[in-house]
Structure 1
Amino acid sequence: MTSNLNHIGLDKKASSELADKLNELLANYQIFYMNARGFHWNIKGEKFFELHLKFEELYNDSLIKIDEIAERILTLGFTPLHTYGDYSALSKIQSAKNVSSGTNAIQEILKGYEVLLPLERELLEMSGDSNDEGTNALMSDYIREQEKLIWMYSAYLNQ
């Protein structure tokens, strides 16, 4: 008799759906990461020192999340996407090319969060429904952090 549970005791079908959604999140994070990296490299203007450091924090944090998401997909028993072709095809976040204005860069970051946050909330609900505490805890942490960052970046833009 074949079990409906994967190797960590979660429903295989629900885990597959979670892995697909996590791969979507992974693709978006990869583009978000590359954008933040570009902002770090190309920022100019009077807020250069402040924003250069802030964008470095952002891309370092994104790199950690990318690894966590990929490892969660593996933990569920599936394969994380790992080509830029896959990422660009699946991501709703668009590449931001040659952005050197602090204001424009922060607007792009906020647009990225407009994609990431709903995906994370969807994953939070899906993981809660399937009793997947590992994915649930990860998404809960991301959401809490990003809500605060959205407030801070919006305050920077005086919004």
Structure 2
Amino acid sequence: MKNLVGIDREKSKKLVIELNILLADYEIFYQNLRGFHWNIKGENFFELHNKFEELYNDAFSKIDEIAERILTLEGEPLHTYTDYLKTTEIVEEKNIIDGKKCVEIVVKNFSTLIRKERLILSLAADADDEGTVSLMSDYISETEKTLWMLNSYLR
């Protein structure tokens, strides 16, 4: 049995589960970035304040894209923080003002996201789901570059 976009329904269900996990991770990541943006203090304030805004705007776009991909695959995206917190691997951060610590957390969170994006990429390739493959390929390329840059900042 195939779904509306021609993907095996069972494989599509597995993709929806993993995409919902990624959605939950991005939602908590997004909120962490907002907190870092708002609360950052110190000598790198201007640089990091702007970087965190750039990152949370990007995460916000990805959240919408992931939810819409889930809907395209005939799934239902998670949409409550209760569900996100039960599902995510990313830890909520609170009251962190040190720029270096914030960047270290962002690097850790991106490492979690890229690992999950690679898993979804593999599942999507197995399902002949070019839409999800394309989405994850783009995310992985962007995340790799961002990880390199943030890691360079920390050295």
What is the identity percentage for the equivalent residue pairs of Structure 1 and Structure 2? 54
Which residue in 2 is equivalent to 1:18?
15
Counterpart of 1:80 in 2: which secondary structure?
Answer: coil
- Are residues 1:51 and 2:58 paired? no
Query: For 1:117 and 1:78, how far apart are their aligned partners in 2?
Result: 22
Which residue in 1 is equivalent to 2:27?
30
Which residue in 1 is equivalent to 2:154?
157
Which residue in 1 is equivalent to 2:65?
68
Q: Which runs of 4+ in 1 moved over 2 A?
A: none
Shift of 1:115: 1.0
Which residue in 2 is equivalent to 1:5?
2
Shift of 1:98: 0.6
- Are residues 1:136 and 2:130 paired? no
Give the aligned length.
155
Code of the aligned partner of 1:10: I
- Are residues 1:83 and 2:62 paired? no
Which residue in 2 is equivalent to 1:125?
122
The unaligned stretches of length 5 or more in structure 1 are none
Question: What TM-score do you get using the length of structure 2 for normalisation?
Answer: 0.99
Shift of 1:146: 0.4
Code of the aligned partner of 1:79: E
Query: For 2:74 and 2:18, how far apart are their aligned partners in 1?
Result: 14
The one-character-per-residue Cα deviations of 1:127-152 (angstroms, maximum 9, x if unpaired) are: 00100000000000000000011110
Q: What root-mean-square deviation, in Å, do the aligned CA atoms of Structure 1 and Structure 2 show?
A: 0.5
Counterpart of 2:2 in 1: which secondary structure?
Answer: coil
Which residue in 2 is equivalent to 1:42?
39
Counterpart of 1:85 in 2: which secondary structure?
Answer: helix
Question: What TM-score do you get using the length of structure 1 for normalisation?
Answer: 0.97
Shift of 1:113: 1.2
The unaligned stretches of length 5 or more in structure 2 are none
